[in-house]
């Protein structure tokens, strides 16, 4: 069988992954703290050995990984007391999830039913000591200071746990807006950072680029699909000719 069909099939498979990543980016074009997913392509080399024949090499394309673009998104001023954005590009809020501590740039916080400060998904936001921040149910005024300290009715109730990593590009996504540590990223280090109260970091999604990438990936997939069909047709014709010649 010709190797061409496998080359075309690998290209089509790669474009499906790229399409999925681009579609997810566009779906989160208004999600605060979202980081764009990028499909990282890599050319692979396979060397096949045949008895009594020379070595044969075959190259095919594949997606090595889908990695987030960790650059900051634009700020949006909301003037909401529990909306906060981090001024520095490489710092994160710490939150507690059933899967362990996770990290996010999405600062659209709210007060849960039990008085805890939580994310939009309902996960408790942690203070600098690693404990959930709680607010009295009868609180009247809430505000964040530039250092992340939450003040409720003129009393400080906790300071946001802000962390950094040895290599922020080593973080892995856990959902759309949260990240988990990896050996490459290193562990979270609590580091003083400046926040911007009454603002949100919006996604670093370019809708124009997303639409362009969507069209490009779709066309590339269609071209690979046609190539697979062509090679399949040629293989079928060759097999028919061989049978007919017997």
pLDDT of residue 44: 46
Closest CA to 104 of 81, 86, 127: 86
Q: What is the CA radius of gyration of the chain?
A: 25
pLDDT at 52: 46
Please tell me the distance from the alpha carbon of residue 85 to that of residue 194, in angstroms, as a whole number. Answer: 9
Residue 8, token pair as written in the block? 């075309």
Which residues sit opposite 172 in a β-bridge?
Answer: 180
Q: Are 163 and 174 in contact (CB under 8 A)?
A: no
CA 137, distance to chain mean position in Å, is 35
Give the helix/strand (H/E) hosting 10.
helix 4-27
Residue 245 gets the label, from left (phi > 0), alpha (psi -120 to 50) or beta, of: alpha
Q: What DSSP element (H or E) covers 209?
A: helix 207-245
Tokens of 12: 């089509």
Please give the pLDDT value at position 235.
59
* pTM for this model (two decimals): 0.75
CB 133 within 8 A of CB 124: yes
Q: Does residue 89 contact residue 72 with C-beta atoms inside 8 Å? A: yes
- What number of H helices and E strands is found in the chain? 2, 17
- Give pLDDT < 50 ranges for the chain: 1, 44-55, 243
Question: Is-contact 154 148, C-beta < 8 A?
Answer: no
The model's pLDDT over 27-86, given as tens digits with 9 standing for 90+, comes to: 999 999 999 988 765 554 444 444 444 445 555 555 566 788 999 999 999 999 999 999
Predicted pLDDT of residue 204: 93
Closest CA to 203 of 86, 93, 76: 76
Give me the pLDDT at residue 51, please.
46
At residue 1, the pLDDT reads 47
């Amino acid at each position: 069988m010709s190797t061409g069909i496998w080359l075309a099939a690998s290209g089509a498979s790669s474009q499906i992954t790229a399409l999925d990543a681009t579609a997810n980016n566009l779906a989160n074009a208004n999600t605060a703290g979202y980081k764009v997913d990028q499909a990282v392509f890599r050319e692979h080399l396979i060397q096949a050995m045949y008895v009594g024949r020379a070595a044969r090499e075959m190259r095919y394309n594949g997606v090595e990984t889908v990695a987030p673009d960790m650059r900051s998104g634009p700020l949006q001023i909301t003037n909401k007391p529990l909306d906060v954005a981090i001024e520095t590009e490489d710092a994160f809020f710490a939150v507690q999830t059933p899967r362990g501590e996770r990290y996010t740039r999405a600062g659209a916080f709210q007060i849960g039913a039990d008085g805890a400060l939580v994310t939009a998904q309902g996960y408790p936001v942690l203070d600098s000591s690693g404990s959930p921040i709680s607010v009295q149910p009868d609180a009247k005024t809430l505000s964040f200071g530039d250092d992340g300290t939450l003040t409720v009715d003129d009393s400080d109730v906790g300071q946001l746990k802000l962390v950094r990593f040895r290599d922020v590009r080593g973080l892995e996504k856990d959902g759309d807006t949260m990240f988990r540590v990896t050996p490459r990223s290193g562990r979270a280090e609590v580091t003083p950072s400046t926040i911007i109260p009454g603002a949100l970091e919006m996604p670093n999604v370019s809708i124009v680029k997303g639409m362009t990438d969507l069209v490009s990936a779709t066309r590339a997939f269609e071209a690979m699909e046609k190539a697979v069909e062509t090679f399949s047709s040629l293989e079928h014709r060759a097999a028919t000719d061989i049978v007919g010649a017997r």
